[in-house]
């Protein structure tokens, strides 16, 4: 769509999903809630439709997309389930885990989806709206987070409209995303080895311990070669960000946690799951506040707090 076209918003009910499926079938773009963040969906089997995702986001064409599926059968038609992939999928799907696996030659996907890589990122989401939409449209859906490239990820329909109004045909408003952080990304190689490409709501180290009886060794951060979305500067609120702040300095909007209150609190009770769910809402609020700077209270680096700190480091870079 062109910049001046209006974006429709509708509820995530049966009528909204039917309308969204119709738009997707004709090659359009739909923003849709998932349990992690809102996705910007297009049919994954169409070069033209996938090209619209990159254009709407201003996303570099070297940064591949996640393909969302509603059944294991659909997943197996796209990728080779090497190593423990079948068991991992059985344990974590539907849910907030994306698997990067060797891509099948006859997967029938637009080549832009995996940006020339021999692998494909796939996820079976748990959110009923996203699942219903994949089923109603009848093909896998390519969907990055529904924000302009490098901006803060959206956990509500309002966040989507803040950067994509006029760039997406329809927004399905399904309320606030429950997890609030993008999926964990785990690559499983031909030789069965694992690599965590992005920390997220699913604890990959626990899964690794279960299958291999030892924790996953962290890999050295690569400079965006394999997962370009992991580049240092990402999730930018557009203002300088100071981490581990105990109080606000002058000109700072303070995002609190636990006993540190702030103008927006990630979790007054110090709950890390709640902090993950509220992170982007607080960052959006801080971005819009009058203060020119943002300060953020320290977050314990354990459990999903690791994924929160990963996003905070990128917001501050
Ligand atoms: O929770 C999520 O994962 C959300 C919802 C909508 O599903 N999606 C999301 O997509 O966060 P996006 O595009 O913002 O992040 C996808 C990440 C990027 O860092 C990209 O580089 C990486 O996945 N990626 C995609 N395909 C890959 C591949 N074949 N190999 C390695 N990394 C890949
Ligand atoms: Mg993103």
Distance of CA 291 to the CA centre of its chain: 28
Task: Calculate the average pLDDT of the chain.
Answer: 93
pLDDT digits (tens, 9 = 90+) for 225-273: 455 555 556 778 999 999 999 999 999 999 999 999 999 999 999 999 9
Q: Which residue is closest in CA terms to ligand 1's atom 22?
A: 227
CB 156 within 8 A of CB 284: no
Q: How far is 317 from 301, CA to CA, in rounded Å?
A: 18
CA atoms of 240 and 250, how far apart (whole Å): 13
Same domain (yes/no): 151, 291: no
Backbone angles phi, psi at 166, to 5 degrees: 85, -5
Last residue of a domain, one of 117, 150, 173: 173
- What length is written for the chain? 317
Triad 315, 185, 258: Cα angle to 5°: 45
Measured in Å, residue 82 CA sits from the centre of ligand 2 at: 26
197 pocket-lining for ligand 1 (C-beta < 6 Å):
yes
User: From atom 12 of ligand 1, which residue's Cα is the shortest distance away?
Assistant: 144
Predicted confidence band of residue 317 (pLDDT cuts 50, 70, 90):
confident
Tokens 């997406």 belong to 168
Tell whether 148 and 266 lie within a shared domain.
Answer: no
Give the Cα separation of 287 and 235 in Å (integer): 11
Model confidence at 279, in pLDDT bands (50, 70, 90)? Answer: very high
Are residue 18 and residue 162 in the same domain, yes or no?
yes
Question: Is 51 domain-assigned?
Answer: yes
Nearest to residue 283, comparing CAs of 303, 268, 266? Answer: 266
**Residue 230: CB partners within 8 Å, gap ≥ 6?**
197, 198, 221, 222, 224
Among residues 122, 150, 173, the one where a domain terminates is: 173
pLDDT tens by residue, 281-312 = 999 999 999 999 999 999 999 999 999 999 99
Instruction: Return the ligand number nearest the Cα of 185.
Output: 1
**Domain stops at, among 148, 173, 198:** 173
36 C-beta closer than 6 A to ligand 1: yes
Closest CA to 31 of 184, 176, 164: 164
Q: Are 237 and 292 in contact (CB under 8 A)?
A: no
What range defines the domain where residue 146 resides?
A: 8-173
Q: Is the CB of 121 under 6 A from ligand 1?
A: yes
Report the distance separating Cα 57 and Cα 146, nearest Å. 8
Residue 35 sits in the same domain as residue 160: yes
| pTM for the whole structure | 0.94
Does 149 lie in the same domain as 42? yes
Atom of ligand 1 nearest to the CA of 117: 29
Our count of domains for the chain comes to 2
Q: What is the pLDDT of residues 116-138, one digit of tens each?
A: 899 999 999 999 999 999 999 99
């Amino acid at each position: 769509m062109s910049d001046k076209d209006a974006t429709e918003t509708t509820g995530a009910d049966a009528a909204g999903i039917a309308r969204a499926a119709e738009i997707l079938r004709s090659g359009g773009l739909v923003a849709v809630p998932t349990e992690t963040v809102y996705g910007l969906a297009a049919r994954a089997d169409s070069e033209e439709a996938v090209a619209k995702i990159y254009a709407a986001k201003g996303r570099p064409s070297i940064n591949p997309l996640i393909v969302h599926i509603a059944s294991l059968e659909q997943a197996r038609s796209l990728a080779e389930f090497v190593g423990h992939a079948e068991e991992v999928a059985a344990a974590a799907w539907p849910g907030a885990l994306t698997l990067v696996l060797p891509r099948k030659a006859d997967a029938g996907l637009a080549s832009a989806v995996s940006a020339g890589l021999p692998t494909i990122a796939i996820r079976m989401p748990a959110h009923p709206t996203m699942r219903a939409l994949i089923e109603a449209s009848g093909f896998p859906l390519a969907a990055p987070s529904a924000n302009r490239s490098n901006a803060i990820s959206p956990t509500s329909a309002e966040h989507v409209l803040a950067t994509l109004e006029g760039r997406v045909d329809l927004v399905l408003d399904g309320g606030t995303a429950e997890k609030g952080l993008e999926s964990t990304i785990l690559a499983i190689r031909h030789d069965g080895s694992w690599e965590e490409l992005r920390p997220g709501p699913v604890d990959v180290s626990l899964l690794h311990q279960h299958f291999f009886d030892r924790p996953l060794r962290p890999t050295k951060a690569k400079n965006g070669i394999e997962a370009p979305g992991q580049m240092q500067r990402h999730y930018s609120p557009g203002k300088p960000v100071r981490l581990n702040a105990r109080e606000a300095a002058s000109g700072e909007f303070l995002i609190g946690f636990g006993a540190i209150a702030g103008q927006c609190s990630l979790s007054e009770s110090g709950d890390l799951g709640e902090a993950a769910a509220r992170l982007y809402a607080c960052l959006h609020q801080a971005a819009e506040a009058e203060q020119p700077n943002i300060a953020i209270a320290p977050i314990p680096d354990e459990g999903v707090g690791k994924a929160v700190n990963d996003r905070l480091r990128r917001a501050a870079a």
